Amino acid sequence: MGKTTGFLEYERCDGPVRPEAERVQDFREFHGDLSAAERTKQAARCMDCGVPFCQAGVMIAGMASGCPLHNLVPETNDLVYRGRMEEAYQRLSITHSFPEFTSRVCPALCEAACTCGLHDKPVATKENERTIIEYAFEHDLVKEETPAVRTGKRVAVVGSGPAGLAAAQLLNKRGHEVTVYERNDRVGGLLRYGIPNMKLDKSLIDRRVALMEGAGVKFVVNADIGKDIPAEKLLSEYDSVILACGASHARDINAPGRDAKGIRFAVDFLSEVTKSLLDSDFKKVPEALAKDKDVVVIGGGDTGNDCVGSCIRLGAKSVLQLEMMPKPACSRQETNPWPEWPRILKVDYGQEEAIWKFGSDPRVYRTTVKEFVKDKKGNLKELVLVSLEPKKDEKTGRMNMVPVEGSEKTVPAQLVLIAAGFLGSEQYVTDAFGVETDARTNVKTAPFTYAASRDKIYTAGDMHRGQSLVVWAIAEGREAAKAVDMALMGYSNL
């Protein structure tokens, strides 16, 4: 695979990134591409390692190790190294529905499990994947297959995020008639409105959706199933229904003063920013949302980082990011060996931009909000923060983060964005379809299956497994499509 000694001869080199001073002026993507010659070198670093954990996609110590889609990473890297880009795309497209999305927003589970990364920097598989798919689009290789024969079966997909799109893609390819329902005004789910444009340009979604429409997939927007359209209507008109509505029930912060004006859920905020940009063809930047405000983001994950980057672009006066857990180590610890997911400190683009603009990392660890302080008009003006420390619960044996007495401090804040994760699916949808949910309010199925408790109904993505990654959603959508196809046809060639 690749050049036998490539990993010894070449250092890892990532694609160019626009400098902070330039990129914070707009919402355009800021990652560039390497030259073809340099990309060949990066692909040449892929080792003939014998056991490629990069493509395993298994759970180790509670975290995924390797790609859940089981992309044959060494094969695609080898083809990139040899300059056989069309074959590289053909190989990748067998296992992957949308490389253009994951190559931009995935945390690269493949790279975390790369054998080369055990003693050196891992192979740049994520960027190699981006090179493959963009080459394919540039050379008109990407096609959505229009089936020569239709099966006469009809499938409704509720939700147009990555899971719903992946399921629709395969089921349409199989010959079923597929209609995708989306409650928002544009297709894409959280790909569209939960991820900022500078991280995933929305034209990439439009590009893929246009191909799917051309192949026969129907999309219906502004259709909130369970509210605008009764669930029973879908069940009566379609042979199967796939619920792929995501885990959009946001986790709240219950503290005194929560009713203050100026406290928002992160995804609602990010959605408003993106919608304003799209509606105005990027001519109107909604600066009023954060300009000259002291912003506090509650949550240290990807969504919190996206809020940091967005608020800097909107002219925030200051940005603080709160994280309840302790600061991670800078390198792997003995308790976190390869090929486990590395639980180490990462500095993402939003934090990089905050460091550039404000001079320090915006993250404050082991801290939460004790009180939201309002002014006389009910507007948020300050936060009372409190430090946390780990303490073992004597009854359960679990370690909990508990407040440190006397550690309170007050910080200015006119905008708070809650990015504390999600609790599961929204109840009005599951109630409308009459499906059982588990303890986390996700749609309940038998282990490793996708059929819900009610006949004809299937589920996939975050609505099934809980809040997760785009790559997991795509994998689930593909597997759910296979399950539906099996039930409708008695066998499946997906």
Report whether 110 contacts 126 (CB < 8 A): yes
- Residue 140 scores a pLDDT above 90: yes
Question: What's residue 1's pLDDT?
Answer: 64
Q: Are 72 and 55 in contact (CB under 8 A)?
A: yes
Mean pLDDT of 112-126: 95
pLDDT higher than 70, residue 353: yes
Strands 422-424 and 249-250: antiparallel
What CA–CA distances, in Å, run from 466 to 133, 276, 301, 440? 28, 29, 15, 8
Give the residue-averaged pLDDT of 259-283: 98
CA gap 260, 140 in Å, rounded: 52
Strand partners, 265: 418
**Distance between alpha carbon 494 and the CA centroid of its chain, in Å?**
25
* First vs last C-alpha separation in the chain: 28
**Quick check: 395 pLDDT over 90?**
no
Query: Is the model's pLDDT at 2 over the cut of 80?
Result: no
Degrees to nearest 5, angle at CA 22 with 19 and 23: 80
Domains and CATH numbers, the chain: 6-138 (1.10.1060.10), 154-248+423-489 (3.50.50.60), 252-420 (3.50.50.60)
Q: For residue 479, give the 3-state DSSP assignment.
A: helix
Minimal CA–CA distance to 202: which of 217, 183, 189, 184? Answer: 189
For 273-312, the pLDDT digits (tens) are 999 999 999 999 999 999 999 999 999 999 999 999 999 9
Q: Is 178 helix (H, G, I), strand (E, B) or coil?
A: strand
* Residue type, position 274, single letter: T
As given in the structure block, the two tokens for residue 1 are: 């695979």
pLDDT band at 397 (very low <50, low <70, confident <90, very high): confident
| pLDDT cut 90: percent of the chain above it | 95
CB of 178 closer than 8 Å to CB of 144? no
Sign of CA dihedral 152, 153, 157, 160: negative
395 near 191, Cβ under 8 Å?
A: no
Q: Does pLDDT of 455 surpass 70?
A: yes
User: pLDDT at position 29, please?
Assistant: 97
CA pair distance 484, 464, nearest whole angstrom: 15
pLDDT at 307: 98
Joined tokens for residue 167: 């399921």
Residues 6+ positions from 406 with CB-CB distance below 8 Å: none
Q: Would the pTM of this model clear 0.85, i.e. be above it?
A: yes
Q: What is the pLDDT of residue 48?
A: 82
Helix, strand, coil proportions of the chain in percent (round to 5)? 35, 20, 45
Average of per-residue pLDDT across 163-180: 98
Cβ-contact 73, 42 below 8 angstroms = no
CB atoms closer than 10 angstroms to residue 383: 27
